């Protein structure tokens, strides 16, 4: 079954209704609904490659729902969930690459056998064929690659590029946050934990979610992320959550003054450890944060 539908779901900044294209592909009554927000339905070739990878998965009882053209990831995912028919929802980014053919099968099996788990992510792996720059960036920058695990591990590193959740619980907690441009992952993880369920990462569930392939694009991304982080800190500080670089327990909320004060230490440490890519990216992030923060204060 394949359905193409256009929906008038929101208005743009000029007040003119804007449309999003929603495509649903799959058999009736699927067990899993895979939801993929995408800006252009191509993403430099990653998106069509991902659809091919889905065809090779050992688990095939799923539908694929793509939401094209919505700039808000959270809103796009909520739109997909609203029409999803599966027991579980699995979010993938449009530039996700599945590195194991049984990734979905393992994830579904874990969810079925562990009812205390509300959300489970995989291991973001550095591909062997990745360009040297990408490999080094993923090694230098925290959270660009997921530390390996040998068993189901409670972790705040379960992320949207491969994230399976109970649809019923997702709806119960109110779904994705549609207001913040950055921090969707930690927001959603906290909601699932507050609901009394575990948030985990799974062994042998491998995917790749790569940073930009060039230094210039990577720096631009961090500058943008810094601006978005400042926006969230200014307008929605209650939703700003610290994200750890490792599995296990962590401090959920760290006051902004403390985060600012420890930033120079982080920069110095990155240089001492020989991580110039991380140093430059963090500097770009701080610059973006300052630009957004000072701009808002002048208004």
β-strand pairing of 97-98 with 62-68: unpaired
* Alpha-carbon span 132 to 148, nearest angstrom: 21
Q: Does residue 4 surpass a pLDDT of 60? A: no
Residue 18 pLDDT: 44
**In a 10 Å sphere around its CB, with 0-12 CB exposed, 13-18 middle and 19+ buried, how is residue 50 labelled?**
buried
Length of the chain: 299
* Alpha-carbon span 249 to 68, nearest angstrom: 36
Q: Determine the longest span between alpha carbons in the chain, in angstroms.
A: 56
Q: Tokens at residue 193, please?
A: 């934990």
Cβ-based neighbours of 258, under 8 Å, separated by 6 or more = none
The half-sphere exposure of 290 on its side-chain side, counting CA atoms within 13 A, is: 8
* Alpha-carbon span 191 to 44, nearest angstrom: 33
Q: How many CB atoms lie within 10 A of CB 246?
A: 13
Q: The whole model's pTM is what?
A: 0.90
Q: How many CB atoms lie within 10 A of CB 261?
A: 10
The mean pLDDT value of the chain amounts to: 90
Residue 20 pLDDT: 65
Q: How far is CA 80 from CA 164, 214, 254, in A?
A: 14, 32, 33
Q: Does residue 295 surpass a pLDDT of 80? A: yes
- Count of helices and strands (H, E) across the chain: 10, 10
Rg (the chain; Cα; Å): 19
Return the SS3 of 250.
Answer: coil
pLDDT digits (tens, 9 = 90+) for 172-218: 999 999 999 999 999 999 999 999 999 999 999 999 999 999 999 99
Angle (CA) 53-55-61 rounded to 5° is 125
Domains of the chain and any CATH numbers: 2-208 (3.90.550.10), 215-298 (no CATH)
Using an 8 Å Cβ cutoff, are 209 and 93 in contact?
yes
pLDDT digits (tens, 9 = 90+) for 48-105: 999 999 999 999 999 999 999 988 999 999 999 999 999 999 999 999 999 999 999 9
Residue 27 pLDDT: 67
β-strand pairing of 17-26 with 62-68: antiparallel
Q: Torsions phi, psi of 291, nearest 5?
A: -60, -45
* Alpha-carbon span 249 to 258, nearest angstrom: 19
Any idea which of 110-124, 132-146, 255-269, 279-293 has the lowest mean pLDDT?
255-269
Q: Tokens at residue 39, please?
A: 């800006």
Q: Does residue 5 surpass a pLDDT of 60? A: no
């Amino acid at each position: 079954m394949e359905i193409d539908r256009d929906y008038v779901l929101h208005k743009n900044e000029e007040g003119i209704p804007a449309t999003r294209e929603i495509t649903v592909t799959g058999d009736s009554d699927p067990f899993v609904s895979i939801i993929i927000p995408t800006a252009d339905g191509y993403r430099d070739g990653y998106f069509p490659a991902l659809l091919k990878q889905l065809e090779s998965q050992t688990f095939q009882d799923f539908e694929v729902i793509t939401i094209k053209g919505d700039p808000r990831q959270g809103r796009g995912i909520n739109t997909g969930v609203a029409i999803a028919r599966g027991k579980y929802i699995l979010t993938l980014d449009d530039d996700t690459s599945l590195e194991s053919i049984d990734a979905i099968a393992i994830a579904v099996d874990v969810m079925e056998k562990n009812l205390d788990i509300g959300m489970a992510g995989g291991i973001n792996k550095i591909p062997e064929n990745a360009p040297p720059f990408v490999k080094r960036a993923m090694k230098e920058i925290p959270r660009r690659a997921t530390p390996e695990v040998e068993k189901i591990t409670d972790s705040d590193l379960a992320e949207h590029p491969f994230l399976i959740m109970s649809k019923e619980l997702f709806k119960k907690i109110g779904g994705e946050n549609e207001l913040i441009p950055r921090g969707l992952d930690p927001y959603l993880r906290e909601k699932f934990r507050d609901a009394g369920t575990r948030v985990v990462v799974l062994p042998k569930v491998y995917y790749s979610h790569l940073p930009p392939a060039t230094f210039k694009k990577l720096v631009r991304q961090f500058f943008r992320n810094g601006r978005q982080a400042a926006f969230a800190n200014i307008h929605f500080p209650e939703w700003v959550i610290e994200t750890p670089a490792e599995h296990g327990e962590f401090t959920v909320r760290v006051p902004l003054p403390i985060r600012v004060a420890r930033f120079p230490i982080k920069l110095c440490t990155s240089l001492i450890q020989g991580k110039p890519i991380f140093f430059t990216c963090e500097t770009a992030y701080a610059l973006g944060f300052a630009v957004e923060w000072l701009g808002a204060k002048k208004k």
